[in-house]
Amino acid sequence: MSQNTETDPVQALPTATEDPPKKRSLQLVWIIPIVAALIGGWLAVKAVLDRGPEITITFRTAEGIEAGKTKLKYKDVDIGLIKHVVLAPDRQSVIATAELAKDTDSMLVKDTRFWVVRPRVGVGGVSGLDTLLSGAYIGMDIGKSKDSQRHYTGLESPPIVTAGLPGRQFVLNTAQIGSLDVGSPIYYRRILVGQVTGYQLNPNGKGVTMNIFVNAPYDKYVTLNTRFWQASGLDVSLDANGFRVRTESLASIVAGGIAFQEPNDSSDTARAPENAAFRLFSDQVLAMKTPEADAETFVMFFQESLRGLSVGAPVDFRGIVVGEVKSINLEYDPKAKNLLFPVEVSIYPNRLKARYRKGASAPVDARDDKHHKVMDALIDHGFRAQLRTGNLLTGQLYVALDFFPTASKAKMDWSESPVAIPTTPGSFGDMQNTAASILKKVDNIPFDGISQDLRKALQNLDSTIDRANRLVDRLDGDVATEAAKTLTQAKATLATAQQVMVEGSPLQQNMSSTLQEVRRAAESLRNLTDYLERHPESLLRGKPEEKP
């Protein structure tokens, strides 16, 4: 009982009570860090919002590129900065990471191009001199594609033609590029109108395809019938047409170039479309020739040597070039059992434009039977082909078409292909034939008999000379003595004559008196004659007596 009444020690412990929370106040020391944090966060958000796109550009080398310094420019306006430059995983190139300005996403399309602008000396001239002081930078050319892109491969050299440049691009096909290169000039009538933008070897390796750009407004002169040719360096030629030197300009001599023009008689003036393909000829002469599609092929067989005749030699008709030599071959004729030398030529009928003299307005068609009749009539009148010397210095030959009335009769076989045009020996061939005939005549001369007769004549001449020598010796012995005596007598005679002719000699006095008598007789005869003229009747009556 006494145990129950005892007090429990747990119950005797005091009970804990919770105090109400106390209000804490913000201390001033925390205000500055909070404001700084808010400003930093706002700047970070603003930087993210103002940040432009990031791209990577792959270059072969990092020459002129420096992270944090090299800028990206478009039309000399800063639009970005290179942030990082690292080596590519394959260690064959470098990758530059660039951060561009805001609102440049529309510029980053598939055909946008980048390149390093640095001082360069090339075919097109000197560029990038301003980077000597400011340093190299990345140039940019915005493409026209609609597809966006963030990874690019940089160009090794600046593009010749940038986007927005007025003009048109064309394609040229050629067998060899010569001295042409990217940036080579293009001329129209010796005016610089464009440049070569690029070239690549054809997949079959048998040609080169070139891309050119012609600036506006000169691109309108590129028509469907325009001819392009290489105007590189000096075009020097020495052939049957003579000696020629051509060049477009001093720049084309050093760097090469391309010229274009349409033929003067061209009637097709339609403008060529963008990226139209043309053939690039090696020189202007080949470019301005009539296309082979408009030519007709004939064959000629010459009897004389063809040395000096080359492929491309002109076919001339009285000063008008109507064709060219296409090929020179060698054939064996089994019927005649001899060798033939066929010379195939291309004749351009459009250059002749033959018309009938009266009435006809349409030209003679080469495929018409009338053409055959006309040609047959010309052949009957002596129309022939002949080899002539075009250049005495080089001995180059050309084919001349002309009329030879004395030529032997011939006909054209129109069933053959190609048709053969009759020929006649040239002037040089005539000389050879004449020389051959002279040699034959010389061979027929009996030189043995002539030599025997000449020996006999020489023997007779020797005997005649001996007789003449004997006659001269006789003259020296006999005749010379008599001649000396005669000369002595002649001297004596001359001395006597001199004595007679001396002034005051008797002969001189007698001659003087005789002359006086002759003078008096002449005076008397003159008086008589005068009297008879006055008194002719005295011949009958006599002289009347004088009155006292």
- Main-chain dihedrals φ then ψ at residue 42, nearest 5 degrees: -65, -40
Q: Which residue, 217, 168, 209, 160, is CA-closest to 184?
A: 160
Give the pLDDT confidence score for residue 360 in this predicted structure: 47
Paired residues of 115 in beta bridges = 139, 155
- What average pLDDT does range 320-337 have in this prediction? 85
Checking if the pLDDT of 241 tops 70, the result is no
- For residue 109, what are the CA distances in angstroms to 51, 55, 146, 149, 159? 19, 11, 6, 5, 17
Q: What percent of the chain has pLDDT over 90?
A: 13
Q: Write out pLDDT tens, residues 24-37.
A: 555 666 777 777 88
Distance in angstroms (rounded) separating the CA atoms of residues 518 and 506: 18
Paired residues of 141 in beta bridges = 113
- What average pLDDT does range 225-252 have in this prediction? 64
Give the pLDDT confidence score for residue 291 in this predicted structure: 63
Give the pLDDT confidence score for residue 165 in this predicted structure: 83
Checking if the pLDDT of 170 tops 90, the result is yes
Give the pLDDT confidence score for residue 366 in this predicted structure: 47
- For residue 530, what are the CA distances in angstroms to 521, 536, 537, 542? 14, 10, 13, 15
Tokens at 14, concatenated: 């005091």
CB atoms within 10 A of CB 57: 23
Checking if the pLDDT of 356 tops 50, the result is no
- Per-residue pLDDT band for 173 (boundaries 50, 70, 90) equals very high
Give the pLDDT confidence score for residue 96 in this predicted structure: 92
- What average pLDDT does range 108-124 have in this prediction? 79
Distance in angstroms (rounded) separating the CA atoms of residues 243 and 231: 17
* DSSP states of 84-145: EEEE-TTSSSEEEEEEEPTT-GGG-BTT-EEEEE--EEETTEEE-TTHHHH--EEEEE----
Checking if the pLDDT of 243 tops 80, the result is no
Give the pLDDT confidence score for residue 193 in this predicted structure: 92
Give the pLDDT confidence score for residue 495 in this predicted structure: 77
Residues sharing a CB contact under 8 Å with residue 120, sequence separation 6 or more, in sequence order: 126, 127, 128, 157, 158
The pairing of strands 258-261 and 185-188 is parallel
Are residues 186 and 170 in contact, defined by beta-carbon separation less than 8 angstroms?
no
The pairing of strands 94-100 and 54-59 is antiparallel
Q: Write out pLDDT tens, residues 194-236.
A: 989 888 999 988 899 999 999 989 999 999 889 999 886 555 5
- What average pLDDT does range 305-334 have in this prediction? 86
Q: Which residue, 274, 302, 239, 300, is CA-closest to 430?
A: 302
Tokens at 531, concatenated: 């009297």
The pairing of strands 338-340 and 331-333 is antiparallel
Distance in angstroms (rounded) separating the CA atoms of residues 137 and 154: 12
Q: Which residue, 304, 191, 315, is CA-closest to 258?
A: 191
- What average pLDDT does range 171-190 have in this prediction? 88
DSSP 154: -
Distance in angstroms (rounded) separating the CA atoms of residues 352 and 347: 9
Distance in angstroms (rounded) separating the CA atoms of residues 340 and 308: 17
The mean of the pLDDT values for the chain is: 79
- What average pLDDT does range 410-424 have in this prediction? 87
Q: Which residue, 73, 141, 75, is CA-closest to 107?
A: 141
Q: Which residue has the tokens 């006086």?
A: 516
Q: Write out pLDDT tens, residues 37-81.
A: 888 877 777 666 667 888 999 999 888 888 888 989 988 888 899
Distance in angstroms (rounded) separating the CA atoms of residues 94 and 65: 10
User: According to DSSP H, which parts of 308-388 are helical?
Assistant: 349-352, 369-380
- Main-chain dihedrals φ then ψ at residue 413, nearest 5 degrees: -95, 100
- Per-residue pLDDT band for 246 (boundaries 50, 70, 90) equals low
